[in-house]
Amino acid sequence: QLQFVESGGGLVQPGGFLRLSCVASGFNLDQSPVGWFRQAPGKEREKVSCISSSDGRWYWNPYADGRFTISRDNAKNTVFLQINNLKPEDTGTYYCARTQADLCSASSSQFEYWGQGTQVTVSS
C-alpha cells in the first residue's frame, strides 16, 4: 500500500498545540514535496502547509498563518505539522499527500497517496 498514515490529532482547547505526524508507507518521501491539508466540516479541502523536496522550505497558504510549522525527517520517512495557538477554525480532518510536480504551489489535484486523515477538534 503506497499511502501516508496520519496521526496526532485529538480534542484540544483553544490556545493549545498539536504536532501531527505523517509517515510514508511503502515508499520514500525523500524527493517529494509533501503538503498538509485540512477539510473542515462543510468545506472543501484546503492546503494549510507544504514542505519542498529541494531545500526543505515551507510555506503557508492564506488560510494558515504563522501558527503552522512543517518539518520533515527523511531518515524516519516522516513529515510533521505543528499547530500552535489552536483556534476553533482549525477544526477538521488533516491529511498529508505528496506531489510529483516538485512544487508546493501545486494544486490539490496534483497530490497523491492520501491517507485516512487525523481528526483535530478545537473546542472549549
* Residue 38 near residue 94 (C-beta atoms within 8 A): yes
Averaged over 61-88, what is the pLDDT? 85
Q: Checking phi first, is residue 93 left (phi over 0); if not, alpha (psi -120 to 50) or beta?
A: beta
Averaged over 64-74, what is the pLDDT? 83
pLDDT class for 59, splitting at 50, 70, 90? Answer: low
Q: pLDDT: is 59 or 53 the higher one?
A: 53
Mean pLDDT (the chain) is: 88
Q: What is the pLDDT of residues 15-58, one digit of tens each?
A: 999 999 999 988 888 778 899 999 999 999 999 998 887 665 55
Is the pLDDT confidence value at 121 over 60? yes
pLDDT at 28: 83
**Three-state SS annotation for 69-97:** EEEEEHHHCEEEEEECCCCHHHCEEEEEE
Q: pLDDT: is 71 or 121 the higher one?
A: 121
